[in-house]
Amino acid sequence: MAKQGAQVDEREARMGRRVSGKVSVLLTEIEKEEVPDRLLELARKLQDALNDKMSG
């Protein structure tokens, strides 16, 4: 049963890394565009929240 839990944890970690990587790429693209400062701030907060979730 512990092995199954470890497999689920690893799948979640992999998915989290993929999501975080995609968010990072999108944030880089957003920074290239003329967007309202508030939108850019929210995008950065989203990335920070995802990073916090991955490390915690």
> What is the pLDDT tens value at each position of the chain, 56 positions in all?
566 677 767 887 787 788 788 888 888 888 888 889 999 899 889 888 888 877 76
* Residue 2 pLDDT: 60
Closest listed residue to residue 50, CA positions, set 32, 25, 30: 25
Record the pTM.
0.58
Provide the residue type at 1 as one letter. M
Report helix, strand or coil for 35: coil
50 touches 23 (CB < 8 A): yes
How confident is the model at residue 38, as a pLDDT?
92
Rounded Cα distance, 26 and 32, in Å? 10
